[in-house]
Structure 1
């Protein structure tokens, strides 16, 4: 006998994208919710079911289909992890993104020029999504990686992506601190008030460049600039990040025109005219 609760029960409504699924797409939405749960590190059947709110027998059936199609895989210890089909699709999606395609050459040139870690990111579903990363040559390890997501207001690239949207600054800052800033060792538990953050963003918007001064990761500083498309809209951001010893205030300032130039080169490849915004 199935132990699933009725389909219209709140317990069957996944906590992710399935909650907004259009009528007639519940099964697809549940499958997506299961993949999302696995992607967030929930590897056991019971944990996936609890995270999504889907009954365990339904979750098990969905996992069997996802296993058969390569969207998840089974590890030796029995946990589930993302499968090879997603690697293929992710790579294809990355290749089809015009920003990532255009930015490749300028990013490599920038990385060779600065010897530090270079990032390319876009906003996706209200978060920073890293499209490219070229590690620096100074041996510093950073937790960012291609496909990784981070909060917008805690990262240099995130702030750069927000420069044209002052109406979002305060509310997004408060929301992201509420989610992640409750512990003393959390970078989000900073001393900025919402008013101070807005003031910082106003200054950044005037200069056209944003900074991360150890707000996202202790010991890491970042200079970031927005990338605009042919319409003048910000569609991506590029940054240079390094550890504190390589980022004294004078070098942070010296990197501003360097990062702006790289962003402008990428923007030109997207059809942006420098005489515009």
Structure 2
């Protein structure tokens, strides 16, 4: 009996890439369908909404990528929404049987060349930071960025700002699914964008984020822009005025800089760039 149990145990270990001596591109490619799963979300009254979610429920905590998906799901979510060729609407059509949608989604994740390219880069940096051996994978040198450059990327995730009483500022994001979303406003820098998106989303989830007292000069500049915008009636004219001016303001925001720096310090070992002075 002991011999049988030992055989089963060793067989399980041998089948797990988490305990392999090294990771290959194929090992990394197999991970997305494990962590990103189709979901039949209950709406009540026996109705369901087909979608997907990022989950670590069935993944052992000692998996080398467990914390990446567990702690940085916002980062992964950005890649899924911005750098994926998956036709989500086609896969998750209403009344599609869940097993069918699940199979189609798993296959789509595997076949998505763009998404897998971005994830390969991310996972490579992440595994290397944990000193996990890689085989036949070239680790690209990290890009060097200054804070002004990072702020310029992050600023494009905002649509506009509006002043509120007591020197508070309301922020309106340029994220997929939000009104007036413009994908062209964000450049082709997936790993840097994913970092900025995650930092901004974490910041915006804080209860006090919209109640921060801003520097008086910054507040007055936002207020002046708000007043200029109020004189315009055409939505396109407002966008053309507000976006460039507002993003210029954001590149000088001490609050945004602090949010980016805080997130960078937490994740700098595995990010695809190095922040320099």
TM over 0.5: no
Identify which of structures 1 and 2 has the higher relative contact order when contacts are C-alpha pairs closer than 8 Å and 6+ apart: 2
Higher Rg: 2
How would you bin the TM-score normalised by the shorter chain? under 0.3
TM-score (norm 2): 0.24
Structure with higher helix content = 2
